[in-house]
Structure 1
Amino acid sequence: MNQQPNNPLHGVTLADLLERLVERYGWEELGNRIQIRCFTHDPSLKSSLKFLRKTPWARAKVERLYLRSICYENRNVAPNFGSGGDVDGQDGED
């Protein structure tokens, strides 16, 4: 088995990650931060997981937000990933 001691996502399921983000931000704020339809139009955990499992670019955005969130919780300092906009520092819908 491949050990990944420095990977903060190691051992965290996509469902756990998404549940934690929804608990922290709520669906509305999650949709504001990551503008994808599964978060902005009738969101649910089941439909979002289905979409994220099939869509690598969207999953990457969710993982980046999660990493920023746990970094902020653990250090009270958010890393700088760009200015404003969504997680990638870009504005607009995907």
Structure 2
Amino acid sequence: MSALALEFTILTAARSGEARGATWRENDLTTAVWTVPANRMKAGREHRIPLSRRAVEILGQVGILADDDSEAFLFLGPKGSRTPLSDASLERPA
């Protein structure tokens, strides 16, 4: 899960916290756009990010593990859909 989250973060040029906190509700796979709401953005403004083909593939991969909850995180933490990956999960080892 960490590797997919890291790849998604790189492909979208997002901050790691934005990617780790992303939910299914924020993503429109039909138009391939991820809309990060203003309250989750450092600048306080909504941000629309076009998703590459590979980013959409990643969402398909992690979607297999998701339930039908639109508020569920894309990249599940150890406690399931209600907890995101930790910030340490995307850091490189010392």
Q: TM-score, normalised by structure 2?
A: 0.26
Task: Give 1 or 2 for the bigger CA radius of gyration.
Answer: 1
- Greater relative CO, 1 or 2 (CA 8 Å, sep 6+): 2
